[in-house]
Amino acid sequence: MDFRVRAATKEDCKDISRMIMELAVYEKMPDQVEISHKELERDGFCQNPFFECLVAEVPEEQKSKEGFTVVGYALYFYTYSTWRGRAVYLEDLYVMPAFRGKGIGKGLLCKVAEVGRKKECVRLQLSVLDWNTPSRDFYAAKGAQDLTASEGWHFIRFDGQNLDKLANEAPKD
């Protein structure tokens, strides 16, 4: 299958938003999505973007039955390891079901790795739901290590009221 991976543009945000919802449905958490294409435009295409994104695009003659040519995306951002240095974090990697198994997911993942290496990142990190065996197997086949078992790391989050409470307890300037 012909496809190309390219940097997302502001004009791609509606397609990215659509696929974010498709991914959330697959992950059984559609009620967790609180952003739209407007937040993606604001946060990804500003002077200091919070994320970068790649999209996978197929030719018009291979578009989806719904008429989409943008059929996958990889959304990522940079982080820092105090032990190792620069790192890239892959927040989402998604390919529409009808286009899976055709090298598009691998193409997106490899392009994120290439972008990270060009910025001298020493690692690519991501998280996968424990029940998502197809994704876990996909990443393992590419050489990823599952740190849950080998190093015992837990993924921790503060949000909503707990984040507000923590922020409100910050020392005053």
3-state SS, residue 152: coil
**Among candidates 6, 30, 5, 7, which has minimal Cα distance to 20?**
30
3-state SS, residue 164: helix
Q: Could you say which DSSP state residue 171 is in?
A: P
Do residues 32 and 92 make contact, with C-beta atoms less than 8 angstroms apart? no
**Among candidates 51, 62, 73, which has minimal Cα distance to 5?**
73
Contacts of 129 (CB under 8 A, 6+ apart): 27, 135
Catalytic residue check, 80? no
Catalytic hit among 73, 76, 89, 139: 139
Do residues 57 and 71 make contact, with C-beta atoms less than 8 angstroms apart? yes
CB atoms within 10 A of CB 100: 15
Q: Report the catalytic residues.
A: 139
